[in-house]
Structure 1
Amino acid sequence: MAKTLSFAVVHFGVAFTVTYLLTGSIVVGGAVALIEPVINTLVFYFHDKVWKRIESNRMRASSSA
């Protein structure tokens, strides 16, 4: 859990820093740093579901061959 939390802090810091450097806005940097991980988490969830379905279909195809 500590590794996950430390990665979250690093991720927040990178997102904030990059956005701040591009926009010069602390508010925009903070908003992106908060919103981006939430969106990434949702995208990862659906990405993972698609990959599980692909793997399941491959296993079924190889076992029926």
Structure 2
Amino acid sequence: MTKTLSFACVHFSVAFLVGYLMTGSVWVGGALALVEPACNTVAFHLHEKVWKRIERRRAAAASPALAS
């Protein structure tokens, strides 16, 4: 859990820094630091669901070959 929290801090910091450096606005940097990681979290969740489905299909396709 510590590693996860550490990564979250890094992610928020990078998002803030990029937004701030690109615009010079603390508000934009702050908004980006809140919105981008939240969107990224949802995207990662969906990505994981797709990969689990792919892995299940591959395992199902490989199972009959192993049984023969």
Unaligned runs of 5+ in 1: none
Count of residues in Structure 1 that have an aligned counterpart in Structure 2: 65
Give the whole-Å Cα distance in 2 for the aligned partners of 1:26 and 1:40.
Answer: 21
Once superposed, what is the RMSD of the aligned Cα atoms? 0.8
Aligned partner letter, 2:12: F
Give the whole-Å Cα distance in 2 for the aligned partners of 1:52 and 1:38.
Answer: 21
Paired position in structure 1 for 2:62: 62
1:8: Cα distance to partner? 0.9
Identity of aligned residues (%): 65
Structure 1 runs, 4 residues or longer, greater than 4 Å off: none
Q: Which has the larger radius of gyration?
A: 2
Give the whole-Å Cα distance in 2 for the aligned partners of 1:10 and 1:62.
Answer: 40
1:2: Cα distance to partner? 1.5
TM-score (norm 1): 0.93
Aligned partner letter, 1:39: C
Q: Does 1:47 align with 2:33?
A: no
1:4-41: CA deviation from partner (whole Å, max 9, x where unpaired): 11111111111100110001111010001011111011
Give the whole-Å Cα distance in 1 for the aligned partners of 2:10 and 2:52.
Answer: 28
Paired position in structure 2 for 1:31: 31
Give the whole-Å Cα distance in 1 for the aligned partners of 2:49 and 2:43.
Answer: 10
